[in-house]
Amino acid sequence: MDIVVVFNGLGNQMSQYAFYLNKKRINRSTYIINFCSNESHNGFELDKVFNIRLKKTPLEFVLLIVFKFLLLNKYITRPIRAFLKLLGCNIIFENFDYTFNSEYLSPSNKITFYYGGWHLEKYFSFSERLIRETFKFRELRANDLINIGHVNEIRGSNSVSIHVRRGDYLNNENASLFGGVCTLEYFMRAIQLIKSEIDRPHFFVFSNDMKWVKENLLLDKVTYVTNNKDDNSWKDMYLMSICKHNIISNSTFSWWAAWLNNYDAKIVISPSKFLATDTSTDFYPESWTRIDI
């Protein structure tokens, strides 16, 4: 039995659910459990954005309890630890270098929990059609005038999204992992590359540090999207996904926006790394243009 654990923000949840869908096709005895916290990010978002509802059966409840015991292994009693081992319960943690491991797609002969991001396209490429059908954004409401205006601008121009993620990437916990990847030099080179390929690009900027963007990225034709916060933050991903081209950050949020972009001639520009410590990575699809900083 394989169990995929869903946790963290929307981009992570989408990768985990895509991984689950592909594993489910390979092994029908695959389950998924919700380990999202309302105290971090925006809780479980797949239901709000894509109308994906996870079952709350007694089995899923028991699996969640078992997973919590395994996660807190050093704090539980020795008899419980021995009992879980006897049942064959274990956790597979994703390798932190984000390189593809085909063994993760193979059915296990134990009760195995998969606890990781599973962001690589290779983990679900065989189920691409199903995943694109699953991740269809709900319609904007008629009174959502600002976003409807953005949609009209995006569809009526050579639109290019730019996602600049700073904020939480600069705090002490994350800076050593995610900081120093999408530098000012990265964005300047990406913008120049787009300008050399696209006639009259209209840039749509999404960021959690718009002050830095306006001070450092000098753009000719630009719209700063600032109206989608908290529970509405998914609308930024939707808007990015309907742009013709994308400049992304080392973020699962803009990764999924670019992946869901259906424009036939799209150009997606990404950094060459996801983590600052990467020497190589399978994180970005081969068809995307990587800029090495």
Number of DSSP helices (H) and strands (E) in the chain, helices first: 11, 10
What integer is the mean pLDDT of 58-81? Answer: 82
State yes or no: pLDDT of 203 exceeds 70. yes
pLDDT tens-digit series, residues 131-180: 999 999 999 999 999 999 999 999 999 999 999 998 677 677 777 777 78
**Coil, strand, or helix at residue 164?**
strand
Sequence ranges of the domains in the chain: 2-134, 145-291
pLDDT digits (tens, 9 = 90+) for 237-280: 999 999 999 999 999 999 999 999 999 999 999 999 998 888 88
* Over residues 20-32, mean pLDDT: 95
- pLDDT value of residue 39: 65
Pairing mode of beta strands 30-34, 268-271 = unpaired
Query: What is the per-residue pLDDT for 249?
Result: 96
Quick one: DSSP state of residue 272? Answer: S
Query: Any idea how long the chain is?
Result: 293
145-291: CATH topology is Rossmann fold (3.40.50)
User: Tokens standing for 141?
Assistant: 């409401």
What average pLDDT is seen over the chain?
92
